[in-house]
Chain A
Amino acid sequence: MVERSERAELRRLMERLAEGDRTAFGPVFVLLWPQLRAFAVRFIGAADGEDAAQAALLKVFSRASEYDRERDALPWAIGIAAWECRTLRRRRERRREESALAPAVSSAPSPEEATIDRDLRAAAEAVLGELRPIDVETIISIASGQRAVQGATFRKRAERALARFRLAWRARHGSE
């Protein structure tokens, strides 16, 4: 709790500072800094409170020449500190949201990659359409891992199906 006399003293000192009296600077600093720090720590916690209080203190001194002598100095300074606390909190929240979004964004394909992938799928489907149903079924089995037949039979079917797929691809697109 701030003493009434301390508050009145701060007001007098701020008036002098607003007038350009530099000798009031030190006493204003000594009176104001603990108040702003205590307020900011209560408002947003110890970790961010110190940063917010420092930013608020610099802003108070930066705007000291505009100080209106009709106003009480302490609520004015606390108002600036509250604003700084809110700004810092918003900035931290935004950064957290961005960092949470970042992996999802990086794992998603870029528009260029998505276009290439779509074109390749369309080309492969077109080539598959030219193959016999048994070859299509075998290639789908390779891709999905679900096999109707096992062992050497499947291996031979797979070799033949892939060889025909390559031939059909080369015939259509000129290269593999």
Chain B
Amino acid sequence: MAPNELLLEVRARRAYELGRLRWSLRFAPAVAAAFVVAVGCGRPLDVCGALGAAVLLLAVGLSFAGGEAGRAVTPGLVAGSFALVLPLAVRTIGHFCDSAACMSLCMPACVVGGALAGAFLALRAARDERGRVFLAAGVVIAGLVGSLGCTLAGLSGVVGMLAGVLVAGTPVLLAARR
């Protein structure tokens, strides 16, 4: 290859990486929207900031890297939005959790939101014939997004959501792959 072609290849590689980074940043508005919704519904700013930053880094990083994990970003964000919205929607019906141990509505909302997220991820994995990396990346992203809402019920809310993901996701995945 001629020297100027080598130089052109280096420039092309740089253009590809920059283009990919720009393309990966398309998730930023969705993450920002989840953050605004959570803060708008009264979640603490520091917790939401930390979770939002983690989701943003993970979504952009995995999308930039590509592969199975990169493909899991969009389904992970969608799945996480179920777990985010359900506990926060509880407030719209006039219920206000006064403690982290609220079991009447907040905790069930987290578990149901997690179950919906798990089922959604399992169906997507089965439909697109994705493997463990896809599922792992999707569950982590969904878990972080869901935590923006489920911290409403404290740490137990987050654990409940993750339990919902596993309890609903596993049978759905097994059934869909059969």
Contacts and interface: CB of A to CB of B under 8 A. Distances in A.
Interface of A: 17, 19-21, 25-26, 29, 33, 54, 57-59, 61-66
Given A19-B66, A21-B66, A29 B20 contact: no
Given A33-B8, A65-B23, A20 B16 contact: no
Contacts of B9: 26, 29
Contact of A20 (B11, B13, B15, B64): B64
A20 B20 contact: yes
Interface string B1-28: 0000100110111011011100110000
Interface string B46-67: 0000000000000000001111
B70 interface: yes
A61 B23 contact: no
A33 B9 CA distance: 9
B5 A21 contact: no
A175 to B, nearest CB: 66
Contacts of B5: 33
A154 B26 CA distance: 87
Interface of B: 5, 8-9, 11-13, 15-16, 18-20, 23-24, 64-67, 70-71
Contacts, number: 47
B163 to A, nearest CB: 32
Contacts of A63: 19
Given A20-B20, A64-B16, A66-B23, A58 B11 contact: yes
A54 B4 CA distance: 11
A62 B67 contact: no
B16 A25 contact: yes
Contacts of B71: 19
A61 B10 CA distance: 11
Contacts of B16: 17, 25, 61-62, 64
| 9 shortest interchain CB distances as A-B pairs | A20-B66, A62-B19, A65-B23, A61-B16, A62-B15, A58-B15, A61-B12, A61-B15, A65-B20
